[in-house]
Structure 1
Amino acid sequence: MNLNQKKLPVLVICIAVAVSFLVVMAIAGWSGKDDSMRLENAEKRYIDTGASCLEGGVRKEIRSYPYRSEGKEGYFYLQLPEDIIDGTVLVLPNGYQKIEVSLNGKPLYEYGMYNASPYYMEARINCDIRLPAGSGGQELEIHLINTEKAGNAVLQQGYLTTAGEMTDGILADNLWALLFCVMSAISGICILAMSLWQHVKKAEDSPMIFFFLGLFALLSSAWVFTDSGLPQLIFDDSQMLMVLSFELFMLMPVPLLLFVQLVCEYSRKVFGILVTGYIANFLVQNVAYAVKISDFKHMVYLTHILIIVSIIAIAYYIMRGAVNRHSLYARWTLGGVGIFAGFSSLSLLSFYETGGNQNEKFFIIGFFIFLSILIMLAIHKFQEVSEESARSEVLQGLAYKDMMTGLGNRTLYEEHITSFEAGRSAEITGVIALDINNLKEVNDRFGHRTGDELLKLAARCLREAFGNRGMYYRIGGDEFVIILKGAYIGEDECRRLLGSCIKKHNDSLDIKLSVSMGYAAPDRETGTAAIRELIEKADARMYEEKKRFHNGR
């Protein structure tokens, strides 16, 4: 049975499982189509009207969001609806700006406005402004300050909700980020485990390829988490998370470039230079922040420049690799990296277009496509390895097996003898040399097919006589060697066991099997002997018996 025939039952079973699953799910879906268990999304009442901005001493109505003021500092006014209930919360998305909100001159909310620390940086957060009872119909004053060197104060569209629904809303808005963090973290851990397994197996580049890929997945998971709105549900310290997000963003490309460096072996110098650039950028920005020269927000453009250069380099070497590389895996891997680099470019453009709001969505999409390609390649590679392993086992069996008798051949015999000479001879309890009598005459008179049947019968009798106590080899045309292991069997017992089997089969045959046998065993007292010395003794005694057989005819 060949490999394709062996795979056919597995394929049929897989198809049957898939079809049964689809049928059952279709039945279940049809039967429950009138019911719904979906939870309603948290209610968000977006404020579409009643907003204005003070520009040139005159209020200007805001008709679309996000709205940019004329300067870095902006004063905005928001008319609250009349019908808001007690416990209402106004949620204002805010990206990297100081903000202060007041009602009738009374401060309601403040973020970063009065923090004078030179290390302080505003984060991208959702500002939750708890509205006091009876505030319906009144006007909020919102003071925003953009601390970027270039950029104006920006007001994002806010919405009204309750405290409990606000948490649900933030979770819903960041659901894809949450799924990405969980899946990429699990993938990273699994890939690192594979790297450890490859390291134990002492593979060449494979452990490092998996290590860098797994590290990139974990760093990506951590960066998306810190750059999303999810930390607001858990942590209070926005400053530490802000710095951590920048640190991860600077380090994240390094393992990806090292991964590409190993896959594109002809471009290792270029990507090595880029890796050095990222590490230098990381150290320079940390020093500049520590000594109060600048902060990470104002230095992020350095990392963006490096990313653009990296994307260009990846694109160039991917196109070059598509021409020069004939390996399916190399091409698809580089293609996956290229797709990911393309989506990273869109993420970078989105950062400047939206002011950093949800720019990680393109990154997440690109990463999922990249990871999906790697998973498909891994599955395909696993199938190939499994098939190759099966073929290797078959070929190994052919290389070491005598096709006529099913016993070990001369190659296997010599390898085992070498192994015994290297220190395993203590396992041997005896050696038998065997030769079929008159095989040439049988071949000449009755044909080679009859002679072949005698060879097969001899092998069968040997197995029946000694079972798993022997290692069997056909080392020549009609010559066999049996190496006995385990419990000691004397020569008389060996002759009795073998003779009994031969007699049992000969009773039903016209052409009888006759053999000459030689036996040798280690010294019973010392229990040791050189394997080749035992074989020579057994072989000599077999030829003496064969000579007596011919002389006695």
Structure 2
Amino acid sequence: MPLIESRHLQKLIRNILWICASLFFLGILGTVFFTSDLPDIRPPEEEDTSFTEGWYYMEENVKHTIASFPFSLSFGGDELILYHKIPPLTDIKYLSFKNQFQEIKAYAGDLCIYEYKTSSASPAGKLLGNFRCYIPLSPEYEGQTISLHLKNTVSITVNGLQNIELGSSDAFILDIISNNFSLAVCLIFMFLTALLLYLVYLVQDVKKLSYDYKSFLYIGSFLLLSALWMWSDSELPQLLCSNATMVCLISFFSFMALPIPLLSFVRSACRQGKTLLTGMQCVLLVNIIVQFLLYSMELFDFPSMLPVTHLLLLLYIGIIIVLLIREVRLHASFEAKGILAAILLLILCSIAAMVQFYLHPNTDNSRFFRYGLVMFIGILLFLSGKNLIRFLEERTQAKLYQQLAYTDIMTQTPNRIAFDECIDKLRQSGISGMPLTVVMLDLNNLKETNDTYGHKAGDELLKGAAGSIKNAFQEVGTTYRIGGDEFVVLIKKGNISPEPLFQVMDLEIAQFNTKSRYSLSIAKGYAHNAGDSDKDIDSLLSAADQNMYRNKAATKGTCR
């Protein structure tokens, strides 16, 4: 059986065995999963308990029972107080609820047991954020009335709570992890993808490619800002960070800066509107600076200024769509079509997220944006990857054409064009102070071989000559074929004598002649510039050529 067929058979058998092994494993694993009667080996989970029934509030000395949560209320007073009787506390250590930019005070009877607010003189401002509050409970509080004092600090929300739960710290941590597991996986993927895109950008920047590789930088920055915003807008920061205001500032900054790298990406894809897109980026940066100044001066809070950013985003979305549609119509750009489709998907999901924010501010506001972002990034990565592959193919093709233009096909050595370019550079730079040896080589009796045995025999001699020369000189110099039967070796290293190399070449020739029907013989000569003379490259070439003809005459017994 031929070797190739045997290898194909071995590969086929190996693949069949892989499939059989995988099927056996999955079959047995599935059987065990559905039929095993062993007890659960996982540790018991601590669960938090909903504590939403029995709450009430007082309005004009009238008791109002809260039927269900989420609960919100807007009334004349600036503070909403919710009441409940503290139940028996066995393994319960905390009462927890998600706060929405509200100052919180909790009392057990007349004792203040928890306070969530900032000092009026705090240089960090009064940004309270959207976080879970954990009110510690002790057994001595059992049976007492707990009162939650809620005071709204921003204008876009109303007093109220989404849910109230009882449980231990471990139960709440597990609850945060389980509720945000898919988000955490998404954030890790986005962060790693952003790092990969930055690495691709840096590699291409170091190589100084002519390809517009900055698109990888823009997509990576957009991914990183998106991940930062989604992380800071979730419950995950509470597992790592203790400073609520800092997380809020990160959230608002990353959200306001989010469109800037996207505009850069669109700018790189559009032939027109570049000045407009740059101006839009400047406006976004001014918006960030002004909002932070107003916040630091305590004139406005970020949630109140959020509609300004939303209006800017809606305006910019419209401008981007118009520019991309114009690009598609004028240039029929496939890339512009792809970006347009990606942005439309992201826009629809972003608008859905904005609507959800204004209708239900206490819910996960980044969920719809997350869905759109995954599709958006997938399309952009596809477009950028396709452009990069096309560029690399064109670059490889250009290198191949250049190699063909500078390489002698028969002998696989640099040709006369490559040699002339090298000599022109040496003429311009001069060889004074440069150790340089020029070796001239010429095949003997090539014409007679062609006339007697045909050009196929001459081609065999040329290939044998090139192989012999390269094997002898490849470690010290570059071999060129400059004519039908002429070769040149340029040695740019000092203290290199060609004589020992000629002996190696003669051994290579002798070995070739033992295997070939045709006799190979090469005339040789060289000239050397020690680096301390005033010779130029042309005089060196002429001297090497004369020495080669002397050797040819001595070898053949005649002179040309």
**TM-score w.r.t. length of structure 2:** 0.80
In structure 2, the partner of 1:434 is: 442
Specify which of 338, 343, 347 is matched with residue 353 of structure 2: 347
2:73 corresponds to 1:69: yes
2:482 corresponds to 1:482: no
Query: For the Cα contact (< 8 Å) 1:433–1:535, is it kept in 2?
Result: no
Query: For the Cα contact (< 8 Å) 2:57–2:65, is it kept in 1?
Result: yes
Q: Distance in 1 between matches of 2:28 and 2:409?
A: 56
* Percent identity of equivalent pairs: 27
In structure 2, the partner of 1:96 is: 101
Specify which of 460, 477, 498 is matched with residue 453 of structure 1: 460
Q: Distance in 2 between matches of 1:191 and 1:354?
A: 35
Query: For the Cα contact (< 8 Å) 1:407–1:459, is it kept in 2?
Result: yes
Query: For the Cα contact (< 8 Å) 2:106–2:148, is it kept in 1?
Result: yes
Could you report, residue by residue, the CA deviation over 1:353-385 in whole angstroms, capped at 9, with x for unpaired residues?
Answer: 212532122333333333344444555556556
Aligned length: 539
Q: Distance in 2 between matches of 1:479 and 1:132?
A: 100
With over 3 angstroms needed to count, the CA separation of the structure-2 counterparts of 1:28 and 1:216, relative to structure 1, is farther
With over 3 angstroms needed to count, the CA separation of the structure-2 counterparts of 1:340 and 1:481, relative to structure 1, is same
Could you report, residue by residue, the CA deviation over 1:251-308 in whole angstroms, capped at 9, with x for unpaired residues?
Answer: 3332332333233342323322322222222232233233333222222211111122
Q: CA deviation at 1:458?
A: 2.7
With over 3 angstroms needed to count, the CA separation of the structure-2 counterparts of 1:382 and 1:23, relative to structure 1, is farther
Q: Distance in 1 between matches of 2:274 and 2:83?
A: 56
In structure 2, the partner of 1:109 is: 114
Q: CA deviation at 1:352?
A: 0.7
With over 3 angstroms needed to count, the CA separation of the structure-2 counterparts of 1:438 and 1:290, relative to structure 1, is closer
Q: Distance in 1 between matches of 2:41 and 2:545?
A: 83
In structure 1, the partner of 2:4 is: none
Q: CA deviation at 1:62?
A: 3.4
Q: CA deviation at 1:48?
A: 4.8
Query: For the Cα contact (< 8 Å) 1:195–1:206, is it kept in 2?
Result: no
Could you report, residue by residue, the CA deviation over 1:496-515 in whole angstroms, capped at 9, with x for unpaired residues?
Answer: 65555545544665543455
Q: CA deviation at 1:434?
A: 0.9
Within 5 A, what are the aligned runs for 1:215-364? 215-324=221-330, 331-364=337-370
Unmatched runs of 5 consecutive residues or more in structure 1: 1-7
Query: For the Cα contact (< 8 Å) 1:344–1:366, is it kept in 2?
Result: yes
Q: Distance in 1 between matches of 2:439 and 2:260?
A: 62
Within 5 A, what are the aligned runs for 1:361-440? 361-377=367-383, 380=386, 384=390, 387=393, 390-421=396-427, 422=429, 426-437=434-445, 439=447
With over 3 angstroms needed to count, the CA separation of the structure-2 counterparts of 1:413 and 1:71, relative to structure 1, is same
Specify which of 44, 49, 52 is matched with residue 45 of structure 1: 49
Q: Secondary structure at the match of 1:148?
A: coil
Q: Secondary structure at the match of 2:263?
A: helix
Within 5 A, what are the aligned runs for 1:113-132? 119-132=125-138
Could you report, residue by residue, the CA deviation over 1:454-494 in whole angstroms, capped at 9, with x for unpaired residues?
Answer: 32233234345545344322222233223345554356x67
Query: For the Cα contact (< 8 Å) 1:92–1:157, is it kept in 2?
Result: yes
With over 3 angstroms needed to count, the CA separation of the structure-2 counterparts of 1:534 and 1:449, relative to structure 1, is same
1:99 partner letter: I
Unmatched runs of 5 consecutive residues or more in structure 2: 1-7
1:71 partner letter: F
With over 3 angstroms needed to count, the CA separation of the structure-2 counterparts of 1:273 and 1:457, relative to structure 1, is closer
Q: Distance in 1 between matches of 2:141 and 2:221?
A: 51
Q: CA deviation at 1:116?
A: 8.3
Q: Secondary structure at the match of 2:225?
A: helix
Specify which of 440, 450, 462 is matched with residue 469 of structure 2: 462
Q: Distance in 1 between matches of 2:137 and 2:82?
A: 15
More off after superposition, 288-297 vs 16-25: 16-25
1:90 partner letter: L
Could you report, residue by residue, the CA deviation over 1:31-65 in whole angstroms, capped at 9, with x for unpaired residues?
Answer: 76347666666412223532345456544443443
With over 3 angstroms needed to count, the CA separation of the structure-2 counterparts of 1:80 and 1:315, relative to structure 1, is farther
Q: CA deviation at 1:95?
A: 0.9
In structure 2, the partner of 1:26 is: 26
With over 3 angstroms needed to count, the CA separation of the structure-2 counterparts of 1:381 and 1:467, relative to structure 1, is same
Q: Secondary structure at the match of 1:292?
A: coil
More off after superposition, 168-177 vs 107-116: 107-116
Q: CA deviation at 1:351?
A: 1.1
Q: Secondary structure at the match of 2:128?
A: coil
Query: For the Cα contact (< 8 Å) 1:88–1:163, is it kept in 2?
Result: yes
With over 3 angstroms needed to count, the CA separation of the structure-2 counterparts of 1:327 and 1:345, relative to structure 1, is same
2:481 corresponds to 1:471: no
With over 3 angstroms needed to count, the CA separation of the structure-2 counterparts of 1:400 and 1:46, relative to structure 1, is same
Query: For the Cα contact (< 8 Å) 1:99–1:113, is it kept in 2?
Result: no
Q: Secondary structure at the match of 1:160?
A: strand
In structure 2, the partner of 1:169 is: 175
Query: For the Cα contact (< 8 Å) 1:94–1:127, is it kept in 2?
Result: yes
Q: Secondary structure at the match of 2:528?
A: coil
In structure 2, the partner of 1:144 is: 150
